[in-house]
Structure 1
């Protein structure tokens, strides 16, 4: 890849375009500057896909097309999209849904797989495999998932992530990952997610990891994640191990291989199925954006966003601590239920709590955000405020209902995290170009 060429990107599970905003910016501007300053980026989205199953109205795709145009955008079930119809690209990105990634042996072929339950992960795998077989391997991966991916499923902690790593290794990728809480690095929302980078064996990044005697230095100092989101040299916990067997073997007996609750810590690196995983501590000394920094002035807020006084006591009760007996309606089993209280209203001098998909609507809820206004009233957050907490441009989701707009943001990611990792990855790629390393 010449230094004059763009990094061509395919965006899967695109939602309303969080990855695209982080990599390309909006109208050439950076999310980290609140879209006031130019983003120095060489990424170009050449194809995108967004499909919401089990619904006729493809609302997220409609917003995506409204913001970025219909050209090169697919609103079709990715399982029905031929790899031939996806343009060749340098990098594949996406926030793939968290499912059951287990696999089972076929009856006729011991090496084959059936019962692949985490179907959307396996669509990523299909695209990578078929592009490589056609002589056009995808050089880089940039993926996002919930933090519990590293610990799932309950009965075989870490198995799902082990299957993902093993399958990528078998396709010729090295991988680094990091669980990042955006608020711990000064961004406006306490949103904890797993970010995964993959480097194909034809890249300089893969070679750099392979030639390193100790992956620990890559995780702590030299890697893309370490440069984008620094961590302390004080390692709390360290695991080194190898994932063995076919994917069906891993699916069946990963817990027996490892004999530990889960070997995957919040930071790690994998090459040739060899894992180094560290429990690291974020290192950040800059200023922090708070909920109070992003909310609108009270003037002009629609009355429907203020809490109804008739339901106020219900809001207070839902937000409060509980210790009560409950009975399962199906089995009749009675049990003790307890949960702690939540700060009510939400503090304005801290980053916000995680936005959830059910944030919209006026009905009382334990998890919806509520702020106290200057005139002493309580109100829910406006869609534009939810967008700001995810570092989207103001009114990015305008055109959908308020409930849908909240749902989009509950499913979205913090754009600034994508931008910081993307820019650092670009810097790593260019450093190998300048050193004469072939990465294409």
Structure 2
């Protein structure tokens, strides 16, 4: 922190310094000619931030990972809007959006979005988010469902408040595939509530359930993606959508956001189901039920949905992400923890007698099929059963869906054969990063390993997001005049 001693300011000082930059170009405030470095390297990254640091605040460039400034005794990192070479004027630079400078400090980050005044959120053209899936994910039993009326699900209402306050033109959201079916006693209600809310805010909404492995990735991870756009955007107008069957088919099959990002096999337009959806959210909550399929669009108060199939790309396999170097011994599983009986045995029956605790603490047991007695809350005894899953995740297949419990002694955790010794072990944190498409050691920041696993179990598959990002960038490029 000693190196920051000359970078210390009061908040009032910082505001005064930055106010002098208002309505000026980077060239006008670049008194130290930092921008000249782009003459030799036009693709240099972070140049806008370098100008602010060196020409505005007056301290020399460095590659330190420490925060840039101390503001009112709080270490603060500066973040600036990115810039790029102009497509209209190739020799000039332009900001991707109106230039902004933000100070971020770990001590001042507000972690609860419900406490934020939504009017204070900067204007933006795209809101990206996901909301918790604990209440209706298939990772939990059905009697744990609460949907968006549950404690965890209320984040949706904060997202909606932002959309209302900022009139955001485009929205990209993510959730588990079960969102379309939740809750089990009123199929489709939760997703319909979201659609009804977006209908009230004048959005057209597309959705698609995407399995990453079907589009060439190394994980069988199914997620619902939702892309919404205001009816008055240039993109919406370019689609020329209507409630006619042929137009709906055209959007789902060829011209919509997801059709352009994740191609699907041709399907019969007669398979499209439709239903009116009310803008009365309470009515939807009380009465609506509908079987949403994996693809669809909401337009003008109607939902249209069809079961579609991807133009599949051969998935990568676990062999492509397995570490080839020597792996630390702590990741390997002792034989006594692997099996409690014949390794070929995949079933256990405890309806008469429960197995010893030591046997139940083996991977063979937790991954095997089971039958055991349980007691319901009303005192009724019943037989609980579950099927077996593969004991070892072999190299010739993609990974299963990673959960936040990855790496722990858990039924869903992957166990694999080591590349060199062929002995059985859990995945390393680096391998989980590769499964999600992150660069090696992305989470190796000093955090405990269990949090590295948690982060990857909670992450999205990066290449899928990159594909959607390219489609969105094209939409924005074609809407630059808006």
The TM-score by the shorter chain falls in which range? 0.7 to 0.9
Q: Counterparts of 1:13-162 in structure 2 under 5 Å?
A: 70=105, 74-98=109-133, 99=135, 100=146, 118-131=153-166, 137-162=167-192
> Partner of 2:453: helix, strand, or coil?
helix
Structure 2 distance, partners of 1:47, 1:128, is 22
Deviation per CA, 1:61-101, whole angstroms, max 9, x where unpaired? xxxx9xxx759994421001111321111100012113546
TM-score, normalising length from structure 1?
0.73
Of residues 238, 256, 271, the one that matches 2:299 is 271
Q: Give the match for residue 236 of structure 2.
A: 206
TM-score, normalising length from structure 2?
0.67
Q: Counterparts of 1:173-322 in structure 2 under 5 Å?
A: 173-209=203-239, 211-212=241-242, 213=244, 214-235=247-268, 237-255=271-289, 262-284=290-312, 286-299=313-326, 301-313=327-339, 314-322=362-370
Change (3 A) 1:237 1:339: farther
Does the CA-based 8 Å contact 1:47-1:73 persist in structure 2?
no
- What is the CA distance between 1:409 and its match in structure 2? 1.1
Change (3 A) 1:200 1:177: same
Structure 1 distance, partners of 2:406, 2:193, is 33
Does the CA-based 8 Å contact 2:199-2:279 persist in structure 1?
no
Deviation per CA, 1:374-416, whole angstroms, max 9, x where unpaired? 4231000011111111111211111211111111111111011
> Partner of 1:276: helix, strand, or coil?
strand
Change (3 A) 1:318 1:117: closer
Deviation per CA, 1:335-359, whole angstroms, max 9, x where unpaired? 2233222222101111100101111
Structure 2 gaps of 5+ residues are: 1-83, 85-94, 136-145, 340-361
Q: Give the match for residue 199 of structure 2.
A: 169
Change (3 A) 1:71 1:42: farther
- What is the CA distance between 1:219 and its match in structure 2? 0.7
Total equivalences in the alignment: 350
- What is the CA distance between 1:243 and its match in structure 2? 0.4
Change (3 A) 1:195 1:304: same
Does the CA-based 8 Å contact 1:294-1:389 persist in structure 2?
yes
The structure showing larger relative contact order (alpha-carbon pairs under 8 Å, at least 6 residues apart) is 1
Q: Are 2:381 and 1:334 equivalent residues in the alignment?
A: yes
Of residues 391, 401, 412, the one that matches 1:367 is 412
Q: Give the match for residue 397 of structure 1.
A: 443
Q: Are 2:378 and 1:345 equivalent residues in the alignment?
A: no
Does the CA-based 8 Å contact 1:177-1:196 persist in structure 2?
yes
> Partner of 1:348: helix, strand, or coil?
coil
Change (3 A) 1:210 1:121: farther
Does the CA-based 8 Å contact 1:224-1:428 persist in structure 2?
no
- What is the CA distance between 1:116 and its match in structure 2? 9.3
Does the CA-based 8 Å contact 2:241-2:248 persist in structure 1?
no
- What is the CA distance between 1:298 and its match in structure 2? 4.6
Does the CA-based 8 Å contact 1:46-1:87 persist in structure 2?
no
Does the CA-based 8 Å contact 2:407-2:414 persist in structure 1?
no
- What is the CA distance between 1:42 and its match in structure 2? 6.1
Deviation per CA, 1:233-267, whole angstroms, max 9, x where unpaired? 12494211110251111111113xxxxxx331100
Deviation per CA, 1:299-329, whole angstroms, max 9, x where unpaired? 1x1111000222111111222222x231226
> Partner of 1:93: helix, strand, or coil?
strand
> Partner of 2:131: helix, strand, or coil?
coil
Q: Give the match for residue 15 of structure 1.
A: none
> Partner of 1:156: helix, strand, or coil?
coil
Post-superposition, which runs of at least 4 consecutive aligned residues in structure 1 deviate over 3 A? 41-48, 69-75, 98-103, 115-118, 208-213, 329-332
- What is the CA distance between 1:360 and its match in structure 2? 2.5
